[in-house]
Amino acid sequence: MQFFSTPSFNVKRKSPIKWALSIVTSSVLMGALFSNAALAKEPVQEVQYDKKYKTILGQKMAYIDEGKGRPVVFLHGNPTSSFLWRNIIPYVSNTYRAIAPDLMGMGDSAKPDLEYTYSDQAKYLHGFLDSLDLKDAILVVHDWGSALGFHYARTRPERISAIAFMEATLPPYFPMPSLEAMGPSADFLKNVRTQGLGEEMIMKNNILIDQFLRYSNPENPMSDNVIAQYNEYFPNEKSRQPLLQWLREIPIGGTPSNVHEIGLKNNQWIIESEIPKLLFYVTPGVLVPEATVKYMEDNAKNIKTIGLGAAGHFMQEVYADEIGAGLAQWLETINTQKQLTKH
């Protein structure tokens, strides 16, 4: 499974840090990471949302809360925020209650002095979702938001009744069996998991946003305005600790063990659960290649898949309208099915 493409370099003339950074920079410029073959589209006018706040375990969590009706909860991942969903929320907020939290240490949520492990993030996010007293809610999830969302839906079946996901942590490739199995991605993931080197790459040089996210489509990078909004929430090195820790929480070879075990349980649930599921996918994608789509279609119960075309990991920046329209149609379908079941 390839997440990060890392071409060969002569490392004898470079320090380990400079070598790692040169690998990353070249990967981005070559369009190997999160490569979007389709041009990223920036709408003429984007919706700006006021946020609300809830205090969870003594810390404020920020969230968008628009519309009324059945709750639709959008969960982002790394290195983004609820801003990722800004152009998709309007497709549901006229008919549903659209909720989009910022994970702890990200977006407008508080930035307490935490390690920002998966367990930390789950504790705050799941506490926040519990505080909403959700009933019959639908989750829409991406990246680490998918692992957190699958975990929540699996352990709170009385609250969640359907789930849509994209570039998600899915079987059969997640959790990862070993670094070696990652192919060209192995060097990058090894480097960010190395003390000192990872801090230099992610926290000091901010490559996750300034390069990986910005150049997700190298032929048409995200605009200055869009990338500035993503960067606004991480103004200094310390604020980027969650971004680094998320990379170190990727379960590889059984480590971290708790995230590995949660991933296995989530996989079993996503396959066996009867609740309606919607998978958006792109080509080539990053977390969800063609083989994963086929695996899900062949094995998961009650699943619909929608192919969007050429893109990489951050498909919301390319196909916001298509995701919004497809999500709205699917929601209408499952609502109709629910009404028919009642009668």
Residues identified as active-site: 143, 167, 313
Residue 29: enclosing H or E segment and its boundaries? Answer: helix 16-29
The CA distance from 271 to 44, in Å, is: 39
Give the CA angle between residues 66, 70, 74 to the nearest 5°. 55
Place of tokens 């980027």: 240
The CA distance from 230 to 228, in Å, is: 5
End-to-end Cα, the chain, rounded Å: 46
Helices (H), 164-286: 186-192, 197-198, 207, 224-232, 241-248, 257-272
The side-by-side arrangement of strands in the sheet containing 303-311 is 51-56, 59-66, 97-101, 71-75, 137-142, 160-166, 277-284, 303-311
Residue 24: enclosing H or E segment and its boundaries? Answer: helix 16-29
The CA distance from 176 to 171, in Å, is: 10
Give residue 128's identity as a one-letter amino acid code: F
